[in-house]
Amino acid sequence: MADDIVDLLERAYLDEIETAMNYLANATYLETISGETVAESLKEDVEEELDHAEELGYRLRYYGEVPPASADFEARQDSLQPPEDGSDVLAVVEGVIDAEEDAIETYEALIEAAVDADDPVTEDLAVKLLADEQAHLAEFLSYRKGLE
């Protein structure tokens, strides 16, 4: 059971790092007036995603694990890559929605694994991070409505 928790913590940690990288790239790249609001939101979220990764890293350390580093990284967020057209705000929003939905699934699985392993600290952390990801998802779903 601890192996399940460690695997999920590592996945979530790497996803948070990749998300921060992609949010920063997209925020920097968006070129249109309609993209400014989304870019500002992404810039604000970069720090939050890095904070999430740090918290997950501390839980990995609790389990005697080293948080993953760049040699352990394999990119997974294809839909969150900056679009070819810097004015394609909808493509960025769709990529964020995909990433947030993936994060929600990971944190739901981590909560379940933590409950099964009787690890209330990891469970509490996962619940907190799940709430943050759900808030991000709701925000970007509203952006999508405004762009359709």
Question: Can you give the pLDDT of all 148 residues of the chain as single tens digits?
Answer: 689 999 999 999 999 999 999 999 999 998 777 789 999 999 999 999 999 999 999 999 999 999 999 999 999 999 999 999 888 999 999 999 999 999 999 999 999 999 999 999 999 999 999 999 999 999 999 999 988 7
Residues 6+ apart with CB under 8 A from 14: 68, 72, 73, 74
Inter-residue long-range contacts of 98-103, CB under 8 Å, 24+ positions, other chains counted = 99/15, 99/19, 99/22, 100/133, 100/134, 100/136, 100/137, 100/140, 101/137, 102/15, 102/77, 103/12, 103/15, 103/16, 103/19, 103/129, 103/133
| Count of other CB atoms within 10 angstroms of residue 99 | 25
Q: Sketch the domain layout of the chain as residue ranges.
A: 2-147
Residues 6+ apart with CB under 8 A from 4: 113, 116, 117
Is residue 95 within 8 A of residue 81, CB to CB? The reply is yes
Q: In the 8-state DSSP scheme, what is residue 85?
A: S
Is residue 25 within 8 A of residue 82, CB to CB? The reply is yes
Largest CA distance in the chain: 49
Per-residue pLDDT, 98: 97
CATH class for domain 2-147?
Answer: mainly alpha
Collapsing DSSP to helix, strand or coil, 83 comes out as coil
